[in-house]
Amino acid sequence: MAGKLYGVGVGPGDPELLTLKALRLVKEAEVIALPGQVPEDTVAFKIVEGAYPELGKKELLAVPFPMSKDPEVLKSYHDAGAQKVKEVLDQGKNVVFLTLGDPTIYSTYLYVHKRILERGYQAEIVSGITSFCAVAARLNMGLAEMAEPLHVIPATYKAEEMDELLKLPGTKVLMKSGKRLKKVRDSILRSGQNAVMIENCGMPEEKIY
């Protein structure tokens, strides 16, 4: 019988924000998959290790993902990652794939998840605390009240449209600004709106701007 894949969100950075379910699944799992060339070097590994020091003794599966927007490059890596997971599932082993934040929000895990389901295997998503919810909590503020809308915008892809997007009513969450951060910053300055940013929220190297 084939194993089952679990896409487990590990939260934004603070090991204490791991859910009880995430920690249980990690402890029970036969194989832990991580998105990177060297599993022990990934942020997700370090977060979980903070709550479960024995993590390094597990069988670890490296699933590399490129920092690329080229559809063909991405597809080849996603296909290869799904194949690596499939080979372990075919051994009858369950796989817990660790991913930052929540697996349903701009997560590379989803590309593997879809492919595994398409091949007829079992796969389940386990929610984690999202980075923007953790940031709001860290700043002691709410994200939306009453009828206020909340917009989650992938800033690196939408940088060219940012002047218009910042005109939307309610709270704007700008995620994954990456190399487009200066352009996003310039749009915010032009808009005249207040903005806050946290780098490495919940981690020892956290910075608030």
* 34 has pLDDT over 80: yes
**Half-sphere exposure in the Cβ direction for 185 (13 Å, CA):** 8
Averaged pLDDT, 33-51: 94
Confidence tier at 117 by pLDDT (50, 70, 90): very high
Q: C-alpha angle 29/205/134, rounded to 5°? A: 65
Contacts of 206 (CB under 8 A, 6+ apart): 13, 198, 199, 200
pLDDT at res. 177: 78
Confidence tier at 202 by pLDDT (50, 70, 90): confident
* 69 has pLDDT over 90: no
pLDDT 10s digits, 153-194: 998 888 889 999 999 999 999 988 778 889 999 999 999 998
In this structure, of 17-31, 37-51, 107-121, 177-191, the range with the lowest mean pLDDT score is 177-191
Confidence tier at 67 by pLDDT (50, 70, 90): confident
Which DSSP string do the residues of 112-165 spell out, in sequence order? HHHHHHHTT-EEEEE----HHHHHHHHTT--S--TT--EEEEEHHHHGGGHHHH
- Work out the widest C-alpha separation in the chain, in whole angstroms: 59
Q: What is the average pLDDT value for the chain, to the nearest integer?
A: 93
Cα separation, 95 vs 28, in Å, equals: 10
In this structure, of 66-75, 179-188, 190-199, the range with the lowest mean pLDDT score is 66-75
